[in-house]
Chain A
């Protein structure tokens, strides 16, 4: 659905996107991740023909972009950097205007399609209040409704659940999963990693303009070969498992042992109580934090230190090598 080859964008002296090779397949639920300022939005803008690439190729729905944008975009629903609407008009009037703009609208079906889109994003009972009186969550839903108006084959969504409450996030997640099952490919950018973990089947991670990872989510999260044990008898357990303890934090032990069942038998045989035992998996959060540098919105005093220490996912950065302190 989306293929880019060597996609590069330079804004003046800033290299915003650097040789990105995206591969989003039909039917994917693709999570596009990365810190703020890593180039996610610029990539999305290039996909939609808003920003022109410095070099590289884009293919969407099998057609080159931006050369054949006019054929591609009617099949693409998008939400880019937050929803927008004309504040003095009602939600319905906004959808009617946006649907009438451009060609593939279809006047006769407009009212029905607007009703359907509003219904699916949970705004069916919307009144004639002007959009400027809407809450952030309502605007977000309206933006999604605009993206869904033409039953697109591909949804390109930048932060689709921004501004929604937990229930709203869940509704949108269910909506996107439902659309995906009905055949829509979903490409969404987010930094809400938990949300992506629950929805997406495939992820791509960008860091400072480069695509540092692109893979199936299931392949990214194998067991680490360690087991996490919570026990009120942590002291005795640590003594019992001497040499296997990788780390300890209160009553939480990380044990270098691949089989939780085996470990559990051993602990119970020794008369130790276990409240929780499970294989350790890397979370998507750990993975992403390991692969990426701090967001561009974090302006520290320390000059740019590439990457984070893989041993300390999400943790503090070590002093630069060779630093005398």
Chain B
């Protein structure tokens, strides 16, 4: 069943359309920056974008920062929200279950296909961004400081460590993993929604509504008491991989909170789906 789900994912035009869009945004941004040579000042705009002009190999991380706030969660919520309810609304759910495919098995297969999509999307964004970044900006060493990155030109005045290509690769991988896990949190919320309704759109919008609510509350000082438990609270902590030394505190918390969201919502999705009357 897992193989069947992966085959369906790969053969689906929507998969490639959404990944294409995800990869296109950072490419467009890179072209603008390369043409104008006007990058956001350090500390402003999306993370790391200010540093890419001097080192294109940082662009994968910058590209992930570009798609992370809106684009990536939308794509993930749509794919995961479609997992069960899409089968229900196309009428295939009843035929799969009557095959028989066990309900738990189907849910696991769907989850794995969503994970494959999330990782595939994040990695493809990183790879195309590396290609555009290295091609348009070239690579030259950048130093990393406790406050983030700085171009080597100004690095002399800061007590930073120059980053080797291997260093960048490891840090970028860490960021990719962190963002992948954050997106899994989104995916589990959407997957749970997908077992509740027969409307894929409803499930995806439900998950996005949860994220937007979380985003608003994180920015709200009076909601500070709940903010450590919100799914988007540590989304941006991946940038801490690009500090020296790496600031593990928020990264660890981010992994933990996403783990809890994944566990809770997957359990809820399973409990609901395994006992649900399939009337679609």
User: A-side interface residues toward B, CB under 8 Å?
Assistant: 11, 45, 48-52, 69-70, 73-74, 76, 78, 80-89, 93, 97-98, 100-102, 146
Q: Once bound together, how far apart are the Cα atoms of A81 and B98, in whole Å? A: 13
Looking at chain B's contact residues, is the secondary structure mostly helix, strand, loop, or mixed?
loop
Given known pairs A88-B12, A89-B11, the reply for A52 and B99 (CB within 8 Å) is no
Are B100 and A70 in contact (CB-based, < 8 A)? yes
User: B-side interface residues toward A, CB under 8 Å?
Assistant: 1, 3-4, 7-8, 11-13, 90-92, 94-102, 275, 277-279
Are A50 and B94 in contact (CB-based, < 8 A)? yes
Are A102 and B279 in contact (CB-based, < 8 A)? no
Residues of the B chain whose Cβ atoms lie less than 8 Å from the Cβ of A88: 11-13
Smallest distance from the beta carbon of A214 to chain B beta carbons, Å?
Answer: 24
Given known pairs A86-B90, A86-B92, A100-B4, the reply for A48 and B12 (CB within 8 Å) is no
Q: Once bound together, how far apart are the Cα atoms of A74 and B3, in whole Å? A: 19
Are A78 and B278 in contact (CB-based, < 8 A)? no
Residue of A52, A73, A89, A97 near B275 (CB, 8 A) is A52
Given known pairs A51-B279, A88-B12, the reply for A80 and B98 (CB within 8 Å) is yes
Residues of the A chain whose Cβ atoms lie less than 8 Å from the Cβ of B97: 48-50
Closest partner residue, chain A, to B97 (CB atom): A50
Query: Can you list 28 A-B contacts (CB < 8 A)?
Result: A11-B277, A45-B279, A48-B97, A50-B94, A50-B97, A51-B278, A51-B279, A52-B277, A70-B102, A73-B98, A73-B100, A76-B98, A78-B95, A78-B98, A82-B91, A84-B91, A84-B94, A84-B95, A85-B92, A86-B92, A97-B7, A98-B96, A100-B3, A101-B1, A102-B96, A102-B100, A102-B101, A146-B95
Residues of the A chain whose Cβ atoms lie less than 8 Å from the Cβ of B8: 86, 97
14 more contacts with CB within 8 A, not counting A98-B95, A101-B99, are: A48-B97, A51-B278, A51-B279, A70-B102, A73-B100, A76-B98, A81-B91, A83-B91, A84-B91, A86-B8, A86-B92, A93-B11, A97-B4, A101-B96
Residues of the A chain whose Cβ atoms lie less than 8 Å from the Cβ of B279: 45, 50-51
Are A48 and B98 in contact (CB-based, < 8 A)? yes
Given known pairs A88-B13, A97-B7, A101-B1, the reply for A48 and B94 (CB within 8 Å) is yes
Are A101 and B98 in contact (CB-based, < 8 A)? no
**6 residue pairs, one from A and one from B, having the closest CB atoms:** A84-B91, A102-B99, A73-B100, A50-B278, A51-B277, A48-B98
Q: Once bound together, how far apart are the Cα atoms of A84 and B98, in whole Å? A: 13
Smallest distance from the beta carbon of A150 to chain B beta carbons, Å?
Answer: 9
